[in-house]
Structure 1
Amino acid sequence: MSQPVPPVSPAASHDRPPVPVTVLTGYLGAGKTTLLNRILTENHGKKFAVVINEFGELGVDNDLVVDADEEVFEMNNGCICCTVRGDLIRILSGLVQRRGQLDGIIVETTGLADPAPVAQTFFVDEDVKRATRLDAIVTVADAKNLLARLADSKEAAEQLAFADLIVLNKMDLVTPAEADAVEARIRTINPWAQLIRSEKSQVPLDQVIGRDAFNLARILEHEPEFLSGEDNHSHDEEIQSLSFETDKPIDPEKFNAWISDLLATKGQDLLRTKGILAYAGEDRRFAFQAVHMIADGDFITPWKPGEARKSKIVFIGRDLNRPRLRRGFEACAA
């Protein structure tokens, strides 16, 4: 990552706004298929394309499917559903050719899936990157069984760690004290995600779709303290969340060299990385995000006159060395 990633030009996007994409994940039995079916059948007047890993797992009732033998088929409310048979990029590239006819794309992962490869798609392929916008990674969690799943499945923890929005489902099956305990455990894995409680996946569409929650700049506009706190950290048995802050200006070349080496050597353990940087001699903030080893960044809003220009970075991952990460980040000072 030798240079900051430039913003996409209007000409490159053919004067069409990018299609928002929601990645829907969650462990087996959490209720994500119920949530997806609610989205597909709700009387919202929108058209969504749905990409799924395995057709059989979707479990959409037969009367919703016009032609299950087709890779692309219409749903009864005007939605389009694609079964994934190999190349997610190929399918997305085909869908965005009709992006003027779509209000959004929903990608549902299998219950045992790591959502990282799906999220990485929107970083690595330039055509997909220009034509789509990752709106949010939404994880549905089973309030009744989540603690047991966290004890026997690393995928359950990964799905929580990657989430921008967590739907804590099946609240009708737990007591208030149990619900609080589950939420507290979730916060040890991912203290940054928005969390919504639900019963039987009854979540209003506008709480899940169109949140722009993967947009770090937008999050900071609404929650300025989102990346607050130096050396804040909490940890699960495996997954930790660490954040660091410095009021010294950052040298972009030093930062790019450090973060590139860090992601290359530690990327498999770094589930999510995000930060806002104050580059020396630059009046605009630089928003940085990474999923495993795939990184992206862009300049966003200017610093306000008189505002303290602090750089902040967050790591969520496994086996994180807090002193080493802190020293590496502080060494990027101009």
Structure 2
Amino acid sequence: MSAPLADERIPVTIITGFLGSGKTTLLKRILQGKHGYRMAVIENEYAATGIDQALLVQQDEEQIVEMNNGCICCSVRGDLIRSLGRLQARRAGEIAFDYLLIETTGLAAPGPVAQTFFAEPSVSAWYRLDAILTVIDACHAQQQLDAHREAQEQVGYADRLLLSKTDLVGKEALAALRQRLLAINCRASMQKVSFGNVPLRDILDVKGFDLDARLALEPDFLGDMGHRHGDGVQSFVYHQPQPLDLYQVENFLDAVVQLYGSSLMRYKGILYIADAPCRAVFQGVHMLMGSELGADWGEGETRASTMVFIGRNLPREMLTRGLDRCVAGVTPHERASAEFIYSVGRVP
């Protein structure tokens, strides 16, 4: 069977969240929902024997594949690739599904799982990563974020943040948690979820990883980006109203990825390129970055570049100074100056 066209690949949603946040409850809700998809599920349980499968409602159209020999994000990544390959092979005749859900263990960061869908050609030919959903236990999230790096990274990678158990916390505590989550990840939408009950249209086929999807950043949504809680994972928004030189942007971002790729978790943006009738769209996960041309600018539409970077201990000043020097019209002398060389991190 030949590989499908890019927009016909199987969409994949990764469900993550710290221990006890309500991931399995959400998964059960999705499987029971009326969404029109035939779903396959890959589960990961850190213990030697998984229990989640017993909690799921089994239906003929759902295919459960449990991986219980370690963390899906590290020692069994090869198993994930093999499981995806086996599912695709069985889909050719033995089983039928058109959507895949992956539930990670609560102790895992989802980054390496996401990378699999870009770094492995045998995977990306058949599967399209749609979004990462992170379930947040509102009652215990502050303590978990304080104590566990994995909890911070689960928030940082998310396209959707789903707050569970909000009825167990007061308004002030919930507001403080929202502000902290916003400081970690300003690009993910945030909503309450009660016992897994959330509109399926908000979490399925949302194209959170679609390079051609327009990145919409509302000022009220971003809130006070200067507010920090000491978390290593932070988000940073860069805005530039002047047109950029695409060649210089690509060179700069290539240098950034080489130097800081291990710290960059998610980065995405819309670029206003000089003399181009359309916007350019880019995004990346860790060391993997891609870009392509997007939709044309509308007549009378305000043109500007907006980029979001999410990662651990982001070099915000370096990113700002380097991108400022990618504005079209900056002279080669200015780009070659010692300050610019420093700005891309080549000098400590």
**Residue ranges of structure 2 left out of the alignment (5+ in a row):** 68-75, 329-348
Q: How many matched pairs?
A: 311
Cα deviation 1:174-233 (Å, max 9, x = unaligned) = 22332222222211211221112022222233332222233354353xx3648998x955
| Residue 331 (str. 1) matches residue 325 (str. 2) | yes
**Whole-angstrom CA distance in 2 between matches of 1:93 and 1:57:** 22
Q: Is the 8 A contact 1:233 1:241 kept in 2?
A: no
Indicate if the aligned counterparts of 2:212 and 2:292 stay in contact, CA closer than 8 A: no
Given the superposition, is the C-alpha separation of residues 29 and 153 from structure 1 closer, same or farther in structure 2, using an over 3 Å criterion? same
| Counterpart residue identity of residue 307, structure 2 | I
CA distance in structure 1 between the aligned counterparts of 2:100 and 2:294, rounded to whole angstroms: 25
Q: 1:330 to 1:54 in 2, by over 3 A?
A: same
Match of 1:47 among 15, 38, 45: 38
The partner residue of 1:235 within 228, 232, 237 is 228
Distance 2:247 2:259 in 1: 18
Residue deviations 1:116-155, cap 9 Å, x none? 0011112112332232222110000001000010111011
Residue of structure 2 in register with 1:125 after alignment: 120
Flag structure 1 segments of 5+ consecutive residues without an equivalent. 1-10, 65-74
Distance 1:313 1:108, change over 3 A: same
Assess, with a 3 A threshold, how the Cα gap between structure 1 residues 186 and 228 changes in structure 2: closer, same or farther: closer
Q: Does the aligned pair in 2 maintain the 1:19–1:96 contact within 8 Å?
A: no
AA matched with 2:269:
G
Specify the SS of the correspondent of 1:20: strand
Instruction: Indicate conservation of the 8 Å contact 1:170/1:201, yes or no.
Output: no
Match of 2:199 among 204, 209, 231: 204
Judge conservation of contact 2:53–2:64 (CA < 8 Å) in 1.
no
Tell me the TM-score normalized by structure 1.
Answer: 0.83
| Counterpart among 285, 294, 299 of residue 293 in structure 2 | 299
| 8 Å contact from structure 1 (residues 219, 226) kept in 2 | no
Single out whichever of 169-178 and 267-276 deviates more from structure 2. Answer: 169-178
Equivalent residues in 2 for 1:2-151, closer than 5 Å: 13=4, 17-42=8-33, 44=35, 46-54=37-45, 56-57=49-50, 59-61=52-54, 64=57, 75-84=58-67, 86-97=78-89, 98=91, 101-151=96-146
Distance 1:227 1:248 in 2: 23
Deviations 1:1-40 (A, max 9, x none): xxxxxxxxxx962587111110100000101011112222
- Within 2, Cα distance between the matches of 1:293 and 1:128? 18
Q: Percent identity?
A: 37
Computed over aligned residues only, the root mean square deviation of the Cα atoms, in angstroms, reads: 2.7
Contact 1:227 1:275 survives alignment (8 Å): no
CA–CA distance in 2 between the matches of 1:287 and 1:329? 15
Normalising by the residue count of structure 2, what TM-score does the alignment of the two structures yield? 0.80
1:250 aligns with 2:244: yes
Mapped partners of 2:134, 2:7: distance in 1:
29
The structural deviation recorded for 1:156 is 0.6
Q: Which amino acid aligns with 1:135?
A: D
